[in-house]
Amino acid sequence: MRIVAEDLSRSFGNTRALSDVSIALEPGKIHALVGENGAGKSTLLKILAGAERPDSGRMVLDGQPYAPKSVTEATRRGVGLVFQEITINPSLTVAENIFAGRLASFRRYWLLTRGGLNRAAQALLDSFSAEISVSQPLSTLDLGQWKCIEVARALSASPQAVLFDESTAFLNHREVDIVLEAMQALKRQGLVVAFVSHHLAEVGAAADGLTILKDGRKVGDYAAHELSRDQIQSLMVGRDLSKGLFPPHGAQASSDNLMRFEDIADERLKPSSLTLGGGEIVGIAGLKGAGGQRILEIAAGVAPHHSGEMKLAGASFRPRIPAEAWAKGIAYLPGDRTGEGLIVGASVLDNLVMARPPRRGPLFDHARAKKLSAALIQRLSIKTKAPQTRAGALSGGNLQKVVLGKCLAVDPRVLLLNNPTRGVDVGARAEIYRSLREAADRGLGILLASEDLNELIGLSDRVLVMRAGRIVARIEDPASASEDAIIRHMT
């Protein structure tokens, strides 16, 4: 099978996600779509897989016109999709997950024939050497293996092309390897394989060819060996952008220790010590589960059971619930903005003042809340029709600005950020970075845990690198450190 797409364009509201992009996918090759957040790579892949429809442009599949209206239709035409999110239902078995939605075909006299179901599932898993047995309970498998079950689900429709939409985003590097091996196996069978990723290490390891996208436009098609990682990076980001994205570092940290961790440890964190000064942005690098998020959770009072001592401006500090941390001026921006950060059903104003509502005695001070939220909307350039607009109506980047606004509304001393720009477009990211640096310049201390190395290097004054619950390296001058050096410490 050969998939050719010509001049695809797609807009969401006023945002042009994709402008006149053409691409050709060949059988027996792994094709990577790379670019920054918001570059349009996921949109492109979703259009190819029928999950989105282009505003203009056309696609051809082996010479036949191809315009799938849904993922189901694309699947019928032989194009399968593996989603970014985990779509495994843990209360089903491995085989049931693979054939979810198609269990009826394993029916005999209304009863499910488990033998046939399990045999078919095992055959699919073995076809790309997934090394998973259908009899294994899902809870004993890791996320990479869950992804492989999703791959098997895509294969159950006997596709000729399998598209992976940032399928490795939530996996650690060992789990990523499992998925990359699965891709190689599909390639050897002569399938078209394409994937979206912004981890250049994955691209180097797996891809035969790559297409670089930037701001919805195609930068170019390349053979994988043609470009070094640095070259890909600069094509992805563009010189001008990499300069403008991060604000200049401010006056260096005032020497006073705002927050101090002394041998803090719990079941997921080895004894760790660190300091954070006012006016300083300290980055924490590390794979998912390496401990960066845990450090934030302990400081935020989310994970109260730990040993060691935490100090805030010299005084011992041990929050048992987040409310106690907020009361001390420690604001926490969690990693999942719609599940943990803000209430999508409530208004922008409600969310902005949620952490510390303006009050007169027991009464909510509506006038002051209005003034405060208007100021925050302006300060963070939140694009919303009115403060009373339902938060759910905002775009991802603006939602994140609302969560950040909620944190800044309490006038915090310490700001704890967990991947503050995940899934945020470039424009909003620049605005978020600018606001963070401004806040730091006013004396705020920021602890920034991020999976985006670019962001850590560009924004932090210092970077701590974590691996397996331990701080393994301290980089005092991240601006002159290379991404590779940090990755070496991480893995």
Q: Which residues sit at the interface with other proteins, rule CB under 8 A?
A: 12-13, 51, 83-89, 300, 302, 321-323, 325-327, 332, 334, 339-343, 345-346, 350, 354-357, 359, 362-364, 385, 390, 392-393, 406, 410
Nearer to other proteins, 323 or 468 (CB): 323
Nearer to other proteins, 321 or 468 (CB): 321
Task: Kindly state the smallest distance separating residue 88's Cβ from other proteins, in Å.
Answer: 8
From the CB of 130, what's the least distance to other proteins, in Å? 21
Which of 107, 385 has the CB closer to other proteins? 385
Q: What is the DSSP letter of 114?
A: H
Whether residue 265 contacts residue 308, with contact meaning beta carbons closer than 8 Å, is answered with: yes
Phi, psi of 225 (to 5 degrees): -80, -10
Q: Name the residue nearer to other proteins (CB basis): 82 or 463.
A: 82
- 10 Å Cβ neighbour count for 315? 8
- Minimum distance between the CB of residue 335 and other proteins, rounded to whole angstroms? 11
Q: What's the min distance (Å) between Cβ of 339 and other proteins? A: 7
CB of 87 to other proteins, least distance (A): 7
How far lies 29's CA from each of 163, 193, 209, 359, in Å?
12, 6, 8, 62
Q: What is the DSSP letter of 255?
A: S
For other proteins, give the closer residue by CB, 321 or 479: 321
Question: Which residues are CB-contacts of 93 (< 8 A; sequence separation ≥ 6)?
Answer: 134, 138
Instruction: Rank residues 292 and 478 by Cβ distance to other proteins and give the closer one.
Output: 292
Which is nearer to other proteins, 371 or 385 (by Cβ)?
Answer: 385
Rounded Cα gap, residues 408 and 160, in angstroms: 50
As a whole number of Å, the CA-based R_g of the chain is: 24
Query: Measured from the CB of residue 165, what is the shortest distance to other proteins in angstroms?
Result: 9
CB burial string 346-385: b at 16+ within 10 A, e below? ebbbbbbbbbbbbeeeeeeeeeebeebbeebbebbebebe
Nearer to other proteins, 91 or 480 (CB): 91
Closer residue to other proteins, CB minimum distance, 343 or 468: 343
Minimum distance between the CB of residue 38 and other proteins, rounded to whole angstroms? Answer: 14
Least distance (Å) between residue 425 CB and other proteins: 14
467/484 Cα distance (integer angstroms): 15
What distance separates the 2 farthest-apart alpha carbons in the chain?
Answer: 76
> CA–CA distance from 176 to each of 37, 166, 481, 484, 490 (Å)?
19, 11, 25, 18, 14
Q: Are strands 257-266 and 217-223 parallel, antiparallel or unpaired?
A: unpaired
Cβ closest to other proteins, residue 257 vs residue 395: 395
Write down the least CB distance from residue 357 to other proteins, Å.
5
Nearest distance in Å: CB 268, other proteins: 18
CA of residue 398 relative to chain centroid, distance:
16
* Cα distance between residue 201 and residue 486, in whole Å: 13
- Complex with other proteins: residue 72 or 273, whichever CB lies closer: 72
- Identify the residue whose tokens are 């339902």: 390
Q: Residue 483 contacts by C-beta under 8 Å, 6 or more apart in sequence?
A: 233, 453, 454, 457
DSSP code string of 322-354: HHHHHHTTEEEE-S-IIIII--TTSBHHHHHTS
Measured from the Cβ of residue 270, the count of other Cβ atoms closer than 10 Å reads 16
Q: How far is the CB of 358 from other proteins (least distance, A)?
A: 9
